[in-house]
Amino acid sequence: MTTEQRRYKNAPITEAVIEIRVQRDGQAKTSELKVLAESLKKDFPKQAPMRLVTLGLAAGDAQQPDASFNQTLSQSQIGYRLANESGGRVLQLRSEGFAYSHLAPYSQWSQFRGEAKPLWDKYKTVYSDAKLARCALRYINRIDIPGTKMELEDYFRLYPKIPETLPHRDIVAMGMNIQIPQEDLQCMAVVIQGLIEPARPGVFSVVLDIDIFRLGIQSWQDTELWEFLDKLRDRKNQIFEGCITDRTRELIDQ
């Protein structure tokens, strides 16, 4: 059972991601994922392979006085990236996991979850022997604050504190990465906040990125997985609301 999230008229969510990673006893074959990708082509017509590029350096002939390093470059395919016609939904099918993204404009959790689960079920038919390893829920928010000057504490309850003794206290760049254990859920919340390139002239754009994940879920069944993702969604809401002020709520509810 999930709690109701406050619905904002101008929700700042730019991307929401459900990610599930798996472990397999044998080596995964991307050819199996290709068949799955082809079966989803009607809903996800934009498809491209995902590749892992590895750069290596090796010492040259030690007998040569001017021996240098030899560079090696290799790449291997690890899966497929699929997108629907509008680009508002992205599905990653990888040998080690699955990720489903809902880009802006965001709808609601029930729709997002309802779209993701059947796709996960199809992924599991390909890798039926896979065991769960990690699950995560990530929401990336961009909050655009109008004006030529901004005081972070007016809009956020999470912000860097600039000592009043400093001669100049205006912030033109900022980035924070905070890891907060969620002991009751046995997981970790990573909150990233920073100033980014303005979305348009006359605003300050602040990203508030909330990523919550849990490891060590090998013994879980699918029912436990999706019930836990519901809990992560609730916790994400609590963290988001805890990081913003009423002034931000008014801004994104216009």
**Tens-level pLDDT at each residue, the chain (254 residues):** 344 568 899 999 999 999 999 998 766 567 889 999 999 999 999 999 998 877 766 665 556 656 566 676 667 888 999 999 999 999 999 989 999 999 999 999 999 999 999 999 999 999 888 999 999 999 999 999 999 888 899 999 998 888 888 887 777 788 999 999 999 999 999 999 999 999 999 999 999 999 999 999 999 999 999 999 999 999 999 999 999 999 999 999 98
The pTM assigned to this predicted structure is: 0.89
**What residue has token string 């919550």?**
212
Q: Give the chain's radius of gyration (CA, Å).
A: 22
The whole-number pLDDT of residue 2 equals 44
Q: How far is CA 93 from CA 136, 172, 226, 246, in A?
A: 15, 39, 18, 40
The whole-number pLDDT of residue 113 equals 98
The whole-number pLDDT of residue 178 equals 97
Q: Side chain identity at 48, as an amino acid letter?
A: A
Determine if residue 32 is left, alpha or beta; phi over 0 gives left, psi from -120 to 50 gives alpha, anything else beta: alpha
Nearest to 92 by CA among 20, 15, 189: 20
In whole angstroms, what is the distance from residue 50 CA to residue 81 CA? Answer: 6
